[in-house]
Amino acid sequence: MDEANVEKTIELAESITRKRGLIEGIRGDFDAVFIRDVDARRLTKVAVDLQKSMEQSMKKISEKNSEQLIIKLQKLMQAVMKRLQMEFYAILCGSSSLDLEPDGGVVMADLRSIADCTIACGYGKECVSVYTSVRRSVVHEQLHDLRADRFPGANEMKKMEWKVVEEKVKRWIYLVQAAVNEVFRREKLLSRSVFPAEVAELCFRETCGDAAADLLRFPADFGNRARNMSPEKVFRTLDAYEALAALLPTIDSMFSGRTSAAIRSAAAEAAVNLRSAARTMIGRFRAAIQEDSSKPPANGGIHPLARYVMNFLLFLDDYGVLISDDVVRVLDPPRVFSGEDPPAIAWFVVALICKLNGKAATYDDVGLGYLFLANNLNYVVSKIRSSNLKLSVGSEWISGRESELSGSLSKYVESDWTRLISPLDARDPTVEIPREEAGEIFRDFNSHFRETYGKNRYRVIPDPELRTRVRDSLRAATVSPYAEFYDRCAVKYNRVFGSDPIALYTPEDLEYYVRDLFSDPSS
């Protein structure tokens, strides 16, 4: 650039900066030329020409008047750069979110033009400072609009009620998803649209890094707190883990720069912490099954442990891959499955069945123990069949439990009811039974029936289908044989024998009493 062009550049720079009220640090009313599209392109061209003039003048530093010229050029450059920074600030603050999309038209081109110019002239740091200051505030406002709460630390959470902590977890899940997928994503695209790649990474880190670090601090703290929580609270832990695990690839991609390594590490560590907390809580669930010492219900109904475990497992199964071996493998492999080891969730079912068998053995009444087993096996199998748990335990295992259920029902009927009919069945149907002997048989039956019915009257079978199945078994085992004996003897001898009737009950009476058994009071 010759001296004439240098002088021309100086005159143009002085003209533009004086016209716009900014030279040698004096600022008048600001009128953004980029927004009005007046002198915009000339301003960036002047800056580039000034840079070239300074470079040329620096080569002639030893010549007369070169030092004064350089000082003058530097002052003009500072004025032009400040002007451009103000333009940059005005565009950022005055543009809508739509304008700042990557295809935002004039607006994005102007921002990129100013950024390129300031970087080329050695003022990139100042431009970045303006950008990050504005966009950091925007990010803060956007997160505030999303109702970003102040999230408590691990020590503070210890003093909170679970309902409060639970709401904090729900709020965090919503917020982190919105922040990463909407706010941070938009800022990433914007920074890349305005700045060259390396500078864009720095701007994005400065704009969103602190907000990301704050968001990732909560799951880490919650994971530490969750380790000491009861097993039922594992589901919120899994919710947080699921949300964060799904976002990890996006976080790694967004914060991929060298300066963002701490963000990537914090996200990965928070996910590991949540997963570890879930494992600890599920391990505590296993211990709760093994250590349960509660007595079985007196009516032979569903044990609370069975309801607790199956409901827990049904919820747990909803998390799919999250409760794979990586999270749930906390038990030794059971030996009741053929082929390969079953999914870890099936182990808890095995542990429950073993525990229920132990509780059945604590009944003083053997028949009640079998009824208890039948009720609970039916409950467990029904829950499994109606859910995805059937895929975990397999059809072979289900068939095995159904066989056990049938066996328990048979033993219940045999131990409590079949003995009532044995004296009747022992008689040769072709031999006539004397009246006195028939009366003795009926009296013995009456006594045993009252006893058996009395102790079974308050026992329950909650499942309607199983209740019908058991009643049908009792009809086949008692009512039908009794009806045959009744028709054989009572019709002939149904008269007063001493002071008592020979047959106190008709077959219809027994049918009524059987139909009255096992009704669930809660239904």
Specify the 3-state DSSP secondary structure of 497: strand
Residue 418 lies in a domain: no
Residue 417 lies in a domain: no
Amino acid at 16: I
State whether 437 and 506 are in the same domain. Answer: yes
State whether 177 and 232 are in the same domain. Answer: yes
Amino acid at 300: G
State whether 302 and 376 are in the same domain. Answer: yes
Cα(461)–Cα(465) distance, rounded to whole angstroms? 9
What do you get for the CA distance between the two ends of the chain, in Å? 98
Strands 22-23 and 496-497, by their bridges, are unpaired
Cα(307)–Cα(314) distance, rounded to whole angstroms? 10
State whether 220 and 181 are in the same domain. Answer: yes
| Structure-model confidence comparison of residues 131 and 346, the more confident one | 131
Are the C-beta atoms of residues 323 and 316 closer than 8 Å to each other? yes
State whether 363 and 297 are in the same domain. Answer: yes
State whether 72 and 113 are in the same domain. Answer: yes
To the nearest 10 degrees (0 to 180), the angle between helices 162-178 and 197-226 is: 160
322-346 residues labelled b (16+ CB within 10 A) or e (exposed): bbeeebbbbbeebebbeeeebbbbb
Cα 18 to Cα 14, 21, 29, 185: the distances in Å are: 6, 5, 12, 40
The pair of structure tokens assigned to 73 is 């050029």
Is 50 exceeded by the pLDDT of residue 26?
A: no
For 392-478, list the strands marked E by DSSP: none
Residue where a domain terminates, one of 247, 280, 313: 280
Residue whose token pair is 């080891």: 341
Contacts for 23-27 with beta carbons within 8 Å, 24 or more apart?
23/75, 23/76, 23/79, 24/75, 24/79, 25/79
- For residue 418, the model assigns a pLDDT of 82
State whether 161 and 240 are in the same domain. Answer: yes
Are the C-beta atoms of residues 251 and 180 closer than 8 Å to each other? yes
State whether 276 and 384 are in the same domain. Answer: no
Average pLDDT, stretch 160-175?
91
Cα(463)–Cα(485) distance, rounded to whole angstroms? 32
Range of the domain at 407: 282-411
Residue 511 lies in a domain: yes
Task: Identify the CA nearest to 322 among candidates 428, 239, 382.
Answer: 239
Task: Tell me the pLDDT band of 79, cut-offs 50, 70 and 90.
Answer: confident
Task: Tell me the pLDDT band of 331, cut-offs 50, 70 and 90.
Answer: very low
Total count of domains within the chain = 4
pLDDT in tens, 122-167: 888 999 999 999 999 999 988 888 876 678 887 888 888 989 999 9
Residue 361 lies in a domain: yes
State whether 237 and 145 are in the same domain. Answer: yes
| Structure-model confidence comparison of residues 379 and 324, the more confident one | 379
Q: What is the dihedral of CA 298, 302, 305, 311, to 10 degrees?
A: -160
State whether 345 and 442 are in the same domain. Answer: no
Give the highest mean pLDDT range of 196-200, 288-292, 374-378, 396-400: 374-378
Give the highest mean pLDDT range of 309-323, 355-369, 428-442: 355-369
The pair of structure tokens assigned to 194 is 């305005």
Residue 428 lies in a domain: yes
The pair of structure tokens assigned to 464 is 């309607």
pLDDT in tens, 216-243: 999 988 988 888 888 889 999 999 999 9
